[in-house]
Amino acid sequence: MSAASAAFAGGAPAAASDAFPHRRMITVSIMLATIMQALDTTIANVALPHMQGSLQASQDQIMWVLTSYIVAAAITLPLTGWLCGMWGRRKVFIVSVLGFTAASALCGLSTSLIGIVLARLLQGVFGAALVPLSQAVLLDINPREKIGQAMAIWGAGIMVGPILGPLLGGWLTENYNWRWVFFINLPVGLFAFWGIARYVPESRPGRERLDIFGFATLSLAIGMLQLFLDRGQQLDWFDSWEIKLEAATAVVAFAFFIVHTWTVQGASFFDRALLKDRNFVTGLLFSFIVGMILYGTMALLPNLLQDLMNYPVFYTGEVTAPRGIGTMLAMLLVGRLVHRIDVRAIMAVGFALTALALWQMTQLTLQMDASLFIISGLIQGVGIGFTFVPLSAATFATLASKLRHQGTPIYSLVRNIGSSVGISIVQTLLTRGAGAAHAQLAATVGPGNQALSTLPPMLNTATATGLTILNAEVTRQGALISYIHDFGIMTVVTLAAIPLLLIMSGPNSKAASAVNSNNSDEPAGAVEVPH
């Protein structure tokens, strides 16, 4: 066995720089695959109206283009750890990249709704493993002193991809065709495949036994949860029997999974040893919160900019792009800071900046220009960058290398669930808040309101045209109030997360020392908490 293969099998050794002479090419290859997958979570959103007309689908039907991908990825993601243990990380990576690239081509070639939904299902199945695999590989090929920088590179791909997705998707759709939203993956995927196949060493398969019952119950719970969150707002939540059935199935399936995991003899689908690591468990909590805040904000902004501010699709992408720039700049900086400053202090600054940006969004008016969106987006991007990198480093700081093939997909899964929950919550609050605000404002528009006499003639409530125009304006103002309330709630949630940082182990903690001593046979498998 080569030095690289040996290192890959049991965690990166102290001399990782010698064991992995092609570390830069490995990093470039796996990050291309990661960015490709991260872009596809949002790049198709802006193309949906064009796809709807081309594929002759209704608005409800075209949403399955998004839903099918999310559900397939969510169900497949927990399987990543077992697949890596069974076949080796490199083989799983190669198959995932090739499958995702081929599925992207099928999406672009689809001529029917059924065809593109099936292709998106395949995209979700093959793409689910790309993000956790890239994180696991970067953790193993880098020595402990470069873990922070490695997580900065990885985090940039994860965070910037969804942010730049609408910008790139809008440009491709407007200048070419919606099919190029998927065709653009082909050269990226082929280059990533070449680099992974050539430079990424193989890990040693463990021939692990699959806990079928554990996998089945967890997959059913996740799949039903995703359908519940995706369809809830459309079907008015628990007023629908479909939503009640999905919620009940998710709860029962997850309960069976927990009981099975705690009582099963021998290997389980979820290794209980993961729950013994305080930093890992705390990191999952913060990963959920970050997913809620980031993706919740991203779900609000496009509709706000296009529907209320009347921004074109491409200009919407340009206005939101500074968020990605801020994230990249912050991650480049924080990758060097995690070795010098307590990660909890860095994350506290990140959450504070994110809260500041969200508070700025509560000052919105319909008459303002784009400057507030740009400034607040830049600040929020910096805040996310200051949060995500140290969070990733600290979450896996004390986790044994043998547990990483399970830990990284769970970390990604929890973030994805957080994003789904966040999007569903903000959309529900937005819809109901807009309705309540509209009713409150409309109640003031009556004959007894003397201020109505000062309105221009086009808003004369005595005419049908004037009443229609006035109602439309009341609707816009009500929607704005609801948006402001949503941003206010996210501000409070972000600030509330800061005290929870005290739960996480600090630098040179006894917990970290204990874990490292228990894994003394893996010199760099358990990385010290950066400080």
Looking at residue 1, its pLDDT comes to: 41
Find, among 31, 84, 93, the residue nearest to 203 by Cα. 84
Looking at residue 248, its pLDDT comes to: 93
Question: pLDDT tens, 266-277?
Answer: 667 777 778 888
Residues 304 and 483 sit within 8 Å (Cβ to Cβ):
yes
Categorize the per-residue pLDDT at 509 as very low, low, confident or very high, splitting at 50, 70 and 90. very low
Residue 61 has pLDDT above 90, yes or no: no
Categorize the per-residue pLDDT at 415 as very low, low, confident or very high, splitting at 50, 70 and 90. confident
pTM: 0.74
CA neighbours closer than 13 Å in the CB half-sphere of residue 468: 3
210-219, 255-264, 343-352: lowest mean pLDDT where? 210-219
Share of the chain above pLDDT 70, in %: 82
Question: pLDDT tens, 320-372?
Answer: 778 878 887 887 788 777 777 888 888 899 999 999 999 998 988 878 888 88
CATH number of 1-209: 1.20.1250.20
Mean pLDDT of 214-230: 84
Residue 522 has pLDDT above 50, yes or no: no
Find, among 130, 103, 141, the residue nearest to 416 by Cα. 130
The CB density around residue 236, as the number of other CB atoms within 10 Å, is 11
Looking at residue 433, its pLDDT comes to: 85
Residue 33 has pLDDT above 80, yes or no: yes
User: What's the length of the chain?
Assistant: 531
Could you give the angle at the alpha carbon of 163 between the alpha carbons of 161 and 166, nearest 5°?
100
The mean pLDDT of the chain is 77
CATH architecture observed for domain 287-441+459-531: Up-down Bundle (1.20)
Q: How far apart are CA 461 and CA 178, in angstroms?
A: 43
| Owner of token pair 């689910």 | 128
Find, among 475, 491, 493, the residue nearest to 436 by Cα. 475
Characterize 359-391 residue by residue with b for buried, 16 or more Cβ atoms within 10 angstroms of its Cβ, and e for exposed. Answer: bbbbebeeeeebeebbebbbbbbbbbbbbbbbb
Looking at residue 352, its pLDDT comes to: 93
Measured in whole angstroms, how far is the alpha carbon of residue 92 from the centre of its chain? Answer: 22
Q: Give the best-scoring range by mean pLDDT among 150-159, 365-374, 397-406.
A: 365-374
Residue 150 has pLDDT above 70, yes or no: yes
Residues 526 and 399 sit within 8 Å (Cβ to Cβ):
yes
Find, among 340, 352, 426, the residue nearest to 382 by Cα. 352
